[in-house]
Structure 1
Amino acid sequence: METPDKPSSFQSFEQAMQGLSRRLASRAALRESVIVRLFQHVAQRLNDFMDEPFREYGLNTTQWTSLVVIYASPERRLRPSELSVFMNSSRTNSTRVARQLQKHGLVDRQADANDGRQWFLQLTRKGIDFVEAFLPVRRDHVREALEDFSAEEVNELERLLRKLLYKLD
């Protein structure tokens, strides 16, 4: 495994766990704890990294992904309940995200003509323009996160993440 020349932000946790492992005389427990915590640590750093391009717009990755899901939907509209399914989040969270996107002028709430109790999230012209302008920026940003990996390593990372997700689902 390659390691960079500079220490990582995870080093202090690893050192603490090594000390605990010496006290408990359990290398297996150390390895399991380090792997789980490393995954959580990387996930948080990845979230921060992926949010970075949107900060100047007052947005985050969850909101961006919601915009893209709506953009990809027929007529560029979606019910909040459908958004929650796509986003794997609660309806309450999807409603919160929708309100934030509406506040930014990226979506409008439109009543369903067939059922007055239902409504849609409809991308505004501003929302469409934002998604179309940011798609290449987002793609470059994702590439930057993975640029130190070979194609084979990216494939293996995807395979392992899917395996873990399958186990946790």
Structure 2
Amino acid sequence: MDSSFSPIEQMLANRAERCKDFPYQEILLTRLCMHMQSKLLENRNKMLKAQGINETLFMALITLEAQENQSIQPSELSSALGSSRTNATRVADELEKRGWIERRESDNDRRCLHLQLTEEGYAFLNQLLPPQHRCLHQIWSSLNEDEKNQLETITRKLLTRLDQMDKESQPG
């Protein structure tokens, strides 16, 4: 049975036949990782969409829930989401509109605003997470524990190398 990756693999094989110095395996592995990430995101987005939420809102809720007091400053949310403060404000507006967060003044500094997860937001997450966890178990059940551990080790090793390359390419 052909996989969704088969056309890419065939294209790479054709290129490798024509070009002697073509780094076939390195490109194949890179494309496999990219293809798998795309498929994982597609799968996750379908599940989130069925629950009436998108990836950004979900990550904002998870970020809030993970905080010690389920509270975070808007600038910290922006950093956690890797987005602009303007976009984080839009996300907070949508979460507040849905009743999942409240904006509260800081006890220590009235100029400082905190985003607080509400009971409704917490309940929504508790409803959302079990189906997501089942889906993740289904996806990763194709690997045994040793394979999962090997994949984690290899992935972390590659990530470390990419981080090193980023540092090496920075000026100064």
What amino acid sits opposite 2:123 in the alignment? D
Aligned to 1:16: 11
What amino acid sits opposite 2:154 in the alignment? L
Aligned to 2:133: 139
Q: Where does the alignment leave 5 or more consecutive residues of structure 2 unmatched?
A: 164-172
Aligned to 1:47: 41
Q: Paired residue for 2:83, among 75, 90, 103?
A: 90
Q: How far apart are the structure 1 equivalents of 2:89 and 2:13?
A: 44
- Residue 75 of structure 1 pairs with residue 65 of structure 2: no
What amino acid sits opposite 2:68 in the alignment? P
TM-score by length of 1: 0.82
Q: 60-69 or 154-163: which moved more?
A: 60-69
Q: 103-112 or 157-166: which moved more?
A: 103-112
Aligned to 1:33: 27
CA 1:60–1:160 in 2, change beyond 3 Å: closer, same or farther?
farther
Asked if the contact 2:51–2:128 (Cα under 8 Å) also holds between the matched residues in 1, the reply is: no
Number of aligned residue pairs: 162
- Root-mean-square deviation (CA), in Å? 2.1
Q: How far apart are the structure 2 equivalents of 1:75 and 1:134?
A: 20
CA 1:100–1:23 in 2, change beyond 3 Å: closer, same or farther?
farther
Aligned to 2:169: none
Shift of 1:36: 0.9
Indicate the percent of aligned positions where both proteins have the same amino acid. Answer: 32
Shift of 1:144: 1.1
